[in-house]
């Protein structure tokens, strides 16, 4: 269980991800978290920097689906202006939403990466299905909700256990 919390790759931000390298390794799809991965949890819309990055992602030949545990309104308001498909109330780390995202892209687990800022939802869920998992640092810790704060404490405890 603890091993499943470890991401395949750890970077500071999505902008540090080497898209070309992923492409060469055969990856074609990106399942990405929204809050604190793409923008801060309280930021309603994409930043110009993010919009430019998403454009590059598309040009590099990747499909993208946003998979978020957040509510419909938050996710749709963010994703619809970008014309990116999304799944809300995803109940990560359970598998259903990840599988659905793979079906939406018509890709297999082996062709898809998961990007997120939480080990207990994004990384655990992705690893369980054999997706390539990338952990980013959370964009803004200040805006996090109660459950995310609890998850952070559990992440810390898991890391401490793993270091033993």
Q: Which residues bind Mg ion (CB under 5 A)?
A: 33, 35-37, 117
Looking at the Cβ atoms of 29 and 116, the one nearer to Mg ion is: 116
Give every strand in the sheet of 63-67, ordered side by side.
9-11, 132-136, 112-116, 29-32, 63-67, 86-87
How far apart are CB 70 and Mg ion at their closest, in Å? 8
**How buried is residue 78: exposed, middle or buried, by Cβ count under 10 Å (0-12/13-18/19+)?**
buried
The Cα 21–Cα 23 span in angstroms is 5
> Which residue is it, tokens 């690893």?
127
Looking at the Cβ atoms of 70 and 112, the one nearer to Mg ion is: 70
How far apart are CB 41 and Mg ion at their closest, in Å? 7
How far apart are CB 114 and Mg ion at their closest, in Å? 12
Looking at the Cβ atoms of 28 and 78, the one nearer to Mg ion is: 78
């Amino acid at each position: 269980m603890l091993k499943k919390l470890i991401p395949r790759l750890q970077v500071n931000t999505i902008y540090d991800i080497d898209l070309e390298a992923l492409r060469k390794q055969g990856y074609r799809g990106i399942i990405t978290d929204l809050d604190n991965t793409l923008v801060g949890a309280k930021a309603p819309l994409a930043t110009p920097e993010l919009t430019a990055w998403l454009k590059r992602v598309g040009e590099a030949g990747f499909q993208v689906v946003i998979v978020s545990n957040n509510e419909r309104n938050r996710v749709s308001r963010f994703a619809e202006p970008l014309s990116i498909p999304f799944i809300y109330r995803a109940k990560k780390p359970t598998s259903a939403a990840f599988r659905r995202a793979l079906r939406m892209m018509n890709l297999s687990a082996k062709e898809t990466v998961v990007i997120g800022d939480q080990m207990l939802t994004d990384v655990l869920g992705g690893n369980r299905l054999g997706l390539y998992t990338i952990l980013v640092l959370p964009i803004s810790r200040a805006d996090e909700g109660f459950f995310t704060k609890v998850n952070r404490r559990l992440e810390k405890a898991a890391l401490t256990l793993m270091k033993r």
